[in-house]
């Protein structure tokens, strides 16, 4: 009897938050999805009772293949490269800092605070500071002159140079290629671990993908009637530097916590077996930090996908080379009055973030049950 009453009390206690979440998160997600399949954003969009028609997937098709939405497609490309660089560099720098601090005999608290401090700043503040530092005529570019060297010439945020360009009309081809690379890396991981079953399934999928790519089916599907080049904008480096500066301290804290949970017995056992300091790090510490890396990727990844304030503060709203979908979403909705298109971008962002988070949640739930 007691346990049933407990359950009742528990249910009553969480009920308000379930109701609030239901309305303010899931209700509004549903509302956004509903708006995204309408044409809300025609002339009288701001009426009290706007005239809204259902248009199906037109907004989505427009975003991926409409002539005027090339900005959105460059945004997606920017977001892809930004996420890759930001997550990769943050992990690397975070791990490096954590390892170094872990070795320190003294001053650990001091350095931990120093590196963690940037995280306490708002992204807008970080953006403004770095905007100043990356001014082509000042900040970082004049640093070399202090040592008597010529001033730096790189235009940082204002560069319009592009590399790794690709034709958007063949986007399926490139997506297939990206999936292939990821699977091949995973297969290599399985091979190293000696997981033969998983390795075999991955290799089969890879072979199929290689076949598809080689057959050239995907290059025959053209999303656009004309070539449209997108690529990696060098101006993104400035944004990546600022973002890594802000978040690598946080990654460091995660790794540091991870290093502390590794029982000393394991290291001692390795030492008894005659492992060197580096070998302990490589074969004991690093493998045990894997779960930390997984959660760090999810946390940093969803920050990268949703990034808005940092770029808005650093490069302003209309700087094409550093723009991301979240900025275009804001501008389309609140400046251009195209509420339906803005909602569609929002839904696309939600799907991308879910692609990152859902596998992680599923994975952590299943290991939790085990």
Q: How many chain residues are in contact with other proteins, going by CB under 8 A?
A: 38
Tell me how far, at minimum, the Cβ of 308 lies from other proteins, in Å: 13
DSSP state string for 123-159: HHHHHHHHHHHT-TTSGGGGHHHHTTPPPP---GGG-
| Binder among 57, 145, 335, 359 for other proteins (CB under 8 A) | 335
**Residue 318 beta carbon to other proteins: minimum distance, rounded to whole angstroms:** 4
Q: How far is the CB of 38 from other proteins (least distance, A)?
A: 14
Q: Which residues are CB-neighbours of 324 under 8 A, at least 6 positions away?
A: 75, 78, 79, 82, 307, 308, 311
List 337, 350, 357, 360, residue binding other proteins (CB under 8 A): 337
* d(C-alpha 82, C-alpha 76), whole Å: 10
Binding of other proteins at residue 140 (CB under 8 A)?
Answer: no
Question: Residue 160 burial (CB < 10 Å; 0-12/13-18/19+)?
Answer: exposed
Segment near other proteins (CB under 8 A); pick from 19-27, 36-44, 88-96, 349-357: 36-44
Instruction: Assign 234 to helix, strand or coil.
Output: coil
Q: Which stretch binds other proteins (CB under 8 A): 99-107, 151-159, 245-253, 283-291?
A: 151-159
Out of 33, 34, 50, 191, point to the residue binding other proteins (CB under 8 A): 50
Pairing of strands 229-233, 162-167: antiparallel
Q: Minimum CB separation from other proteins for residue 84, in Å?
A: 22
Q: Is 251 in a helix, a strand, or coil?
A: helix
* CA distance readout (Å), 3 to 8, 11, 16, 18: 9, 12, 21, 22
Binding pattern for the stretch 61-100 against other proteins, x by CB under 8 A and - elsewhere: ------xx-xx-----------------------------
Q: Does residue 43 interact with other proteins by CB under 8 A?
A: yes
Both tokens of 103, joined, read 């070795």
Among 47, 163, 366, 367, binds other proteins (CB under 8 A): 47
Q: Determine if 60 is a binding residue for other proteins (CB under 8 A).
A: no
Report the alpha-carbon distance of residue 327 to residue 76 in Å, rounded. 11
Q: For residues 40 and 245, which CB has a smaller minimum distance to other proteins in the complex?
A: 40
The least CB distance from residue 158 to other proteins, in Å, is 4
Binding span for other proteins by CB under 8 A among 135-143, 182-190, 253-261, 358-366:
135-143
Dist. CA 78–CA 234, nearest whole Å: 10
Angle (CA) 19 23 28, round 5°: 160
Can you tell me which of 316, 354, 358, 362 binds other proteins, judged by CB under 8 A? 316
Length of the chain measured in residues: 370
> How far is C-alpha 342 from the chain's CA centre?
20
User: To the nearest whole angstrom, how small is the minimum distance from the Cβ of residue 247 to other proteins?
Assistant: 23
Q: How far apart are CA 68 and CA 160, in angstroms?
A: 20
What number of other Cβ atoms are within 10 A of residue 8's Cβ?
10
Given 330, 350, 356, 360, the residue binding other proteins (CB under 8 A): 330
Which residue ranges make up the site for other proteins (CB under 8 A)? Answer: 41, 43-48, 50, 67-68, 70-71, 131, 134-137, 155-158, 160, 235, 315-321, 330-332, 334-338
């Amino acid at each position: 009897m007691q346990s049933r009453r407990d359950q009742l009390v528990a249910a009553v206690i969480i009920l308000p938050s379930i109701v609030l979440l239901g309305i303010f998160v899931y209700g509004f997600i549903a509302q956004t999805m509903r708006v995204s399949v309408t044409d809300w954003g025609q002339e009288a969009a701001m009426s009290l009772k706007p005239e809204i028609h259902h248009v199906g997937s037109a907004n989505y098709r427009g975003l991926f293949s409409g002539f005027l939405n090339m900005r959105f497609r460059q945004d997606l490309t920017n977001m892809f490269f930004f996420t890759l660089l930001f997550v990769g560099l943050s992990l690397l720098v975070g791990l490096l800092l954590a390892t170094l601090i872990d070795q320190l005999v003294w001053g650990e608290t001091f350095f931990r605070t120093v590196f963690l401090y940037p995280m306490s700043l708002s992204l807008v503040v970080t953006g403004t500071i770095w905007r100043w530092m990356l001014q082509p005529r000042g900040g970082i570019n004049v640093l070399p002159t202090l040592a008597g060297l010529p001033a730096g010439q790189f235009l940082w945020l204002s560069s319009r140079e592009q590399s790794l360009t690709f034709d958007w009309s063949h986007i399926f081809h490139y997506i297939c290629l990206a999936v292939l690379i990821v699977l091949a890396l995973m297969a290599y991981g399985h091979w190293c671990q000696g997981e033969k079953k998983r390795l075999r399934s991955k290799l089969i999928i890879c072979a199929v993908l290689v076949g598809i790519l080689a057959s050239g089916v995907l290059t025959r599907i053209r999303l656009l009637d004309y070539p449209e080049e997108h690529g990696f904008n060098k101006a993104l480096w400035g944004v990546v530097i600022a973002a890594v500066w802000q978040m690598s301290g946080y990654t460091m804290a995660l790794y540091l916590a991870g290093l502390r949970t590794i029982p000393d017995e394991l290291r001692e056992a390795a030492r008894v077996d005659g492992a060197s300091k580096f070998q302990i790090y490589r074969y004991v510490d690093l493998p045990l930090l894997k779960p930390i890396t997984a959660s760090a990727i999810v946390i940093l990844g969803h920050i990268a996908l949703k990034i808005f304030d940092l770029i808005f503060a650093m490069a302003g709203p209309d700087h094409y080379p550093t723009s991301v979908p979240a900025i275009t979403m804001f501008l389309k909705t609140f400046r251009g009055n195209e509420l339906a298109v803005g909602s569609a971008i929002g839904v696309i962002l939600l799907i991308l973030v879910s692609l990152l988070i859902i596998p992680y949640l599923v994975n952590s739930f299943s290991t939790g049950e085990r």
